[in-house]
């Protein structure tokens, strides 16, 4: 398999918001919480934990926020045209971004190293062996 080269380009569904991921993520998680199931319209959502300086965005984004189960604020950034989510962040830790990497041009990096909120996992989905598993937020 060809080595992954950075930067990797990404974009929302309509292409009005684009970005470049400049370096590999610190970690990639599959979140099975009910909020992520709604977000992804699937069994889980894939998120890459990256440093804010390792991503360059272009285009206008809107935001929406909610209080997470931890009590922290989760702000979602998304394209106002197509509604595609690009990332989430906690305003108390703006240097950390939870990037929604399914919209990268090269998705070979999507290999979750952990599955979180498996207490809310769909029964039919089987987590691969050898992956870290957390009932809730680690």
pLDDT beyond 90 at 76: yes
71 band by pLDDT with thresholds 50, 70 and 90: confident
CATH label of the domain that carries residue 67: 2.170.150.70
Average pLDDT on 32-45 reads: 85
Note the pLDDT of residue 18: 98
Whole domain around residue 32: which residue ranges? 8-133
For residue 1, what pLDDT band results from cuts at 50, 70 and 90?
A: low
Query: In angstroms, what CA-CA distances link 126 with 3, 23, 43, 100, 115?
Result: 28, 30, 11, 22, 11
| Average predicted confidence (pLDDT) for the chain | 92
The CA distance from 14 to 52, in Å, is: 23
* 97 belongs to a structural domain: yes
Q: Is residue 1 part of a domain?
A: no
DSSP state of 105: S
18-21 vs 8-11, strand pairing mode = antiparallel
Q: How far apart are CA 51 and CA 96, in angstroms?
A: 5
Structure tokens at 31: 């979140």
Query: How much of the chain exceeds pLDDT 90, in percent?
Result: 69
Closest CA relative to residue 21, chosen from 66, 60, 52, 62? 52
Question: Percent of the chain beyond pLDDT 70?
Answer: 99
User: Per the domain annotation, does 16 fall within a domain?
Assistant: yes
- Give how many domains the chain has, as a whole number: 1
Domain membership of residue 92 (yes or no) is yes
pLDDT at 137 over 90: no
- Asked whether the predicted pLDDT for residue 86 surpasses 70, the reply is yes
Element of type H or E holding 88: strand 85-89
Q: Are strands 114-116 and 132-133 parallel, antiparallel or unpaired?
A: parallel
| 114-136 tens-digit pLDDT | 998 999 999 999 999 999 998 88
In a domain, 2, yes or no: no
What pLDDT is stored for residue 35 in this prediction?
A: 83
Per-residue tokens: 24:
């590999």
Q: Is residue 3 part of a domain?
A: no
Give the DSSP letter of residue 101: G
């Amino acid at each position: 398999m060809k080595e992954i080269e950075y930067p990797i380009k990404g974009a929302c569904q309509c292409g009005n918001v684009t970005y470049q991921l400049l370096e590999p993520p610190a970690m990639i998680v599959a979140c099975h919480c009910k909020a992520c199931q709604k977000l992804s319209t699937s069994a889980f959502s894939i998120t890459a934990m990256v440093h804010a300086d390792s991503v360059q965005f272009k285009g206008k984004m809107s935001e929406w926020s909610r209080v997470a189960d931890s009590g922290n604020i989760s702000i979602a950034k998304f394209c106002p045209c197509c509604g595609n989510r690009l990332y989430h962040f906690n305003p108390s830790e703006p240097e950390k971004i939870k990037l929604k990497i399914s919209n990268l041009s090269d998705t070979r990096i999507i290999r979750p190293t952990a599955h979180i909120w498996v207490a809310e996992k769909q029964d039919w989905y089987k987590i691969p062996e050898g992956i870290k598993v957390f009932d809730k937020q680690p």
